[in-house]
Structures are given as C-alpha cells and as structure tokens.
Structure 1
Amino acid sequence: MAFTVVRFNLVDPAATPESLSSRYRVALELASYADGHGVDTVQTEEHHGVADNWLPSPFTFAGAVFGATRRIAVTVSAVIGPLHDPLRLAEDIAVLDLLSGGRLITVAGIGYRPEEYAAHGVDWRRRGALQDELLETLSAAWTGEEFTYRGRRVRVTPRPYTQPHPLLLVGGSSMAAARRAARFGLPFFPSAHLPELEAYYHRMREEYGTEGYCMMPAAETPLLHISEDPDRTWAEYGEHFLHEARTYASWQSSGIRSAVRSSATTVDELRAEGVYRVLTPDECAGLGAESLVLHPLCGGMPPDEGRRSVELFCERVLPRLKG
C-alpha cells in the first residue's frame, strides 16, 4: 500500500485574520478526518515573512493536530534548524513527542532563503556550523543528563516519550547534508530523488562508522488534488496551484533549490508539467505510486474544495489501496 500524506502550509494570499483563522480550523478538521480514515501522516513545513501568510510555526500547528487526532503522525518537513534556539527546540520536540505518544517526525534542514536568516538576525554564512550545533545539542538534550552547551552545564527535561530520541532526520540535497547525516548517525531525507547522494551518504556512514538509512523520495511525487471533474477544477482553481508553484520558483537561484521545482508560468503549462496533478479517484487509485501526497488547501484553495478533495481521497481511493 502507498504511504499517504496530507500536506498543509496554510497559505492564503487574500487572507483576513478571520478567514485565516477559519482556514486553520478547517485544516484541523481535515487532519482529524484523515486520521479516522487511515492516512499515514500530516506534513507541514516552515517559512517566514511570506506575503501569502505561509505557516511559520510548524510545531505549534503539530501540537494542535495531535490534540485533534489519535493515531496519525505529523511530519515537519522541514524545520529550518539554524533559526531555532537549540535548547528550546529540544524542549518543544520532547513535549510534542510526549503529548502525541511518539507521533512527531522532524526533518531538520537549513533552508534556502537568505532573507529568512536576515529577518531573524542569523548569519547565513554560519548555517552549516549552526546546524551541527543544533543536532549535537538535540542528541545530548534528549538523554535527560547534564551536558556542556556553549561553555555552561545544562540539562533539558522532561525526557521524550520515544527512546533513544524522537525520530529526527537530516534533510537537504547537498553533499554537506548527506555528510552531516552520516556523521551524526541520523537518517537522511533528500528533498529530491538523487540516488548518487544516497550512495554518498552510505559511503560516509561507513567512513564514520555510524548507523542510518536514507528515505529517498520517488523519482516523481506529484502534489495531488482529487476531483470528479479535473477539467472543472483546473479551470476554476488552477490559479491556486500556480500561485504556489510561482512562489517556490521565486525562491530558487543559482545553487539554491526549493522543495517544489516548477518552471510553469501559466495554468496550462502547470497542468502539462505534472508537478501538480488533479486526478479522479479512479486515476489516483491506479497510480501505483510509492507515496501519495494530497495538498487540499494549496495556494489558498477554498476550504470547501479542499474538503471535497480529502473526502474523495479517503472514501474512494484509500479503501481500494488497502484492499
């Protein structure tokens, strides 16, 4: 059976405080509904200062999801590690791990938007060193024992629910990220299908003498929306998909690769490209993909349309995959 994901970044370019509050509540309703129908994980991410109100606080959102669900995991993919205080992040993750009974999955990346570092007063040039410090601190903090942090003795309590520590992966699509994951003995989660990087990660593991594994994305993992009439959905709501695609494209430059890569400039180009796909339930059930990523509120999608997508997926796709 395919691994199933419902993704939320809570973007709404035309939001008012009231409409954005409503969108957040709808996301929790959909997470609860997905939980009851056997979806594997809710996925969310972190971005700051984006004009379209992109979610900046994934762990706060994760806590709300855990309060509204019983079994579904929440994957934060990814947290921008160097923007966080390491001790406070260790505490926050430990509390969420306890609250959820071990349902939190954290992918630690370093981000790809220098403006986010500038806004938080963090030196972009030190991001690698800061990420190393973060991973080292999390590993030490979750033991519950005293350790040395920036020249002083500290202790983080409570210990997390998951032992030896909550699931933590190193994200990225660079050799530095693969090397970092290998050095710390942590799983590696590339943001794109890069088999040569997986091979490099395992060579580095052997060199460092560490354990670990690579969670390599499939060569194609499109963002999905389910509709009984894809032509209508593209005609009425295609601009929402295009908004997100163009936002990601605006964040890419030489040497910087965003998580979603699209070169489309029109809805028709986006549809032909296949990064975002609107499928009927039958088409989705027949994909044969290793993972299915549903993105119901993409780009400010009206909540009712997002609801329809999730309901079709849960009621007419998931039963066939399970069967």
Structure 2
Amino acid sequence: MSGTPVSVVRFNLVDPAGTPASLSERYRAAVSMAAYADQQGVATVQTEEHHGVANNWLPSPFTFAGAVLGATRNIAVTVSAIIGPLHDPLRLAEDIAVLDLIGGGRLVTVAGIGYRPEEYAQFDVEWARRGKLQDELIETLLRAWTGEEFTFRGRRVRVTPRPFTQPHPLLLVGGSSRAAARRAARFGLPFFPSAHLPELETYYKERLVEYGTEGWTMMPAESTPLLHISEAPDRTWAEHGTHFLHEARTYASWQSGRIRSAVKSAATSVEQLRAEGVYRVLTPDQCLEQGLDNLVLHPLAGGMPVDEGWRSLRLFCENVLPRLTG
C-alpha cells in the first residue's frame, strides 16, 4: 500500500423489489449518506448509469450527482461511467457545466460507450455507430466548454455558461479496448481502463507520443473489491449475502468475453461469492489489514436494507477512516 488509501462510497441505487416509496427512501438515504461521508472526510462518491434494468439501476447519474453536490462541500462526485453515445452532446455540455459550477470543480466524468446493445435500442441509437458518436460527443464537449461559437452538425451553436473548472471539467475516457485508449490519447484526455490492464496503459502511453498529446491513467488496482463493514461478517453474509449475489449475477449477465471489468464474478451462490473475494464483508480491523490502495465501500449493494447500509458506512467512517489518516 502506497500512502493513504483513497476512500470511495459507491451508489447505484439498485433495488430489485423496489416500490416508489422504497426507492424514494433509498435515494434520499443515499444523499444523506453522501453528506455524512463528506463530513467524515471520505474522498469520493462514485455513481454510474444503466437503463431499463428490472432491478431499478440508476439511469440518471447527473441528476443524482447534482443532489449530492448540493448536499456536500468537499467530496468529489465521480460518474463512472456515462454511456456517452446515449447523450445529446450539447445538453450534456450544459449539464456538466452547471454541475461543475454548483460543485466548484468537484464533478468527475468518465465517458464510456457501454456494452449493452439493448440500452442503445431503448434510445433508438445505432449500436454500430457508437464509436463515431463517442468521438463527436467528446469533441463537442471540449469545444462547447470554451464558451465560443462553433459548428455542430452543420449549424453554429454556443454553449453557456462556461464551467468553473478551466480549461474544462475533469473528463476521462473509459473503456477496456485499444479504441478507447486511442480515443483518450487523440483528445489528450486521461484514460480510465475499466479493469487492471497494464498492457492497455502501455498502449495508451505509446499513442500519446504518436499524437503528441499529454495525459495520464487512472487504472483500478489488480484487486479492487467492493467492501461492506460489519462487526459480525458471518452474520452479515447469512442475512444479506443475497444482495451482493444479486448484483454480482446482474453484472455477470451483461459481460461477454470482450468485456473487461474490475467487478467480475463467476459465483452462482453466496458461498462461492464470499470465497471469490470480489465482494468482501470485513470488520474494521480486517479492512485495515487488507492493504488496499482504494477502499470502495458499497453500502447499499444489490438492494441492501438502508439501515444495514448506514451501519456499514458508520463503522467505516468511525472505525476505519480515522486510522487511515491518523
């Protein structure tokens, strides 16, 4: 472990049995959890985007990010990742600029292209054009944030207001392919591989030289488990292991052989999932003993009851975090 680990609280608001009332409780709890995490010194809230999922996976990460930015003062909010080609480039430029102004530069956006054709079908976006659409999106964002007029799809446009962060809000290109690495290098943007892929990082650095651009890599560690803190891990696995398994199985159903992800599980039972180590339920002492560079707490994983999520978050903030920095 090098230096102080980075602390992250992740939310995707999954709730397989969700009703409008329970989902409202979960969303409001997540914003309150983010505010508490901010007060306790957690570094980042991380969220993401998926559409039309039966378990109510968060589809609107920037709306959620706005609520979190409004309820906090210091914590960064990372949207990791958006499905770039599903967004209107001009509207996205405006939304990110406004959120960047609200947050004073605390919003981080990772632009990926997704891996579920059904999401493209839902929005009537051609799957085969996703690479070209992603190029257009990134180019448009970077031009829009200058505040100057430019040509977009044959017409003159101007996006205002300008964002707080100059020259532009932090934007990374995500993915697990050479095309994503090339795209990041071509635009001179940081690269966010979706898994620990050192060979892809090398390829990205070579492309930076080729294009004469500058950039850096934010790559997951070889092991980046999703954490839940408990004073009694055996009991937590027995009572709540099905929530972790639900999320793991959902991810597994989306991942083909070409998809590389830091969250990749082959488990089909709670027992297998626990042995695998992608999801870990740990005591505060065990968490400290892991020696991880990134501590990713996932308090509401897979529809976890809100009160259990709060227990995990408080244990982390009260019994882990102070011992990391002190």
Q: Give the TM bin, normalised by the shorter chain.
A: over 0.9
Could you say which residue in structure 2 is the equivalent of 1:110? 113
Partner of 2:19: 16
The residue aligned with 2:41 is 38
Pairing 1:151–2:143 present: no
Per-residue CA deviation, residues 28-54 of structure 1 (Å, 9 max, x unaligned), is 111010000000010000000000000
Deviations 1:134-186 (CA, angstroms, capped at 9, x unpaired): 00000000000001101111000000000000000000010000000000000
Say whether residues 1:122 and 2:139 are aligned partners.
Answer: no
Residues of 2 paired with 1:258 and 1:38: CA distance?
28
Match of 1:88 among 73, 86, 91: 91
Distance in 1, matches of 2:185 and 2:260, equals 22
Of all paired residues, the percent bearing the same amino acid is: 79
Deviations 1:73-93 (CA, angstroms, capped at 9, x unpaired): 100000000000000000000
Using the alignment, how far apart are the partners of 1:68 and 1:235 within structure 2? 34
Which portions of structure 1, spanning 4 or more consecutive aligned residues, are displaced by more than 4 angstroms? none
Q: Normalised by the size of structure 1, how large is the TM-score?
A: 0.99
- Distance in structure 1 (CA, Å) of the matches to 2:239 and 2:43: 29
Matched, 1:7 2:10: yes
The alignment covers a number of residue pairs equal to 323
Contact 1:248 1:258 in 2 (8 A): no
> Which ranges of structure 1 fall in alignment gaps of 5 or more residues?
none
Cα distance in 1, alignment partners of residues 260 and 122 from structure 2: 20
In the TM superposition, residue 102 of structure 1 has moved relative to its aligned partner by 0.5
Q: Distance in 2 between matches of 1:109 and 1:297?
A: 24
- Per-residue deviation, residues 235-279 of structure 1 (Å, max 9, x unmatched): 000000000000001111242345521000000000000000000
User: 1: distance between equivalents of 2:145 and 2:169?
Assistant: 8
Q: Which SS does the other structure have where 1:260 is aligned? A: coil
- Shift in Å at residue 104 of structure 1? 0.1
What is the distance in 2 between the residues matched to 1:288 and 1:83? 38
C-alpha distance in 2 between matches for 1:4 and 1:321: 10
- C-alpha separation between the residues in 2 aligned to 1:260 and 1:248? 8
Indicate conservation of the 8 Å contact 1:74/1:103, yes or no: yes
Once the two structures are overlaid, the 10-residue window that deviates more, 55-64 or 257-266, is 257-266
Give me the whole-angstrom Cα distance separating, in 1, the residues matched to 2:129 and 2:222: 32
Corresponding residue of 1:99:
102
What is the identity, as a one-letter code, of the residue corresponding to 2:180?
A
Answer yes or no: is 1:174 the counterpart of 2:187: no
Corresponding residue for residue 82 of structure 2: 79
**Which residue matches 2:52?**
49
| Paired residue secondary structure (1:89) | helix
Q: How does 1:1-323 map to 2 (within 5 A)?
A: 1-258=4-261, 260-323=263-326
Higher mean C-alpha deviation, range 252-261 or range 307-316: 252-261
Q: What value does the CA root-mean-square deviation take over the aligned residues?
A: 0.7
The alignment partner of 1:9 has SS state of coil
Question: What's the offset of the Cα at 1:286?
Answer: 1.9
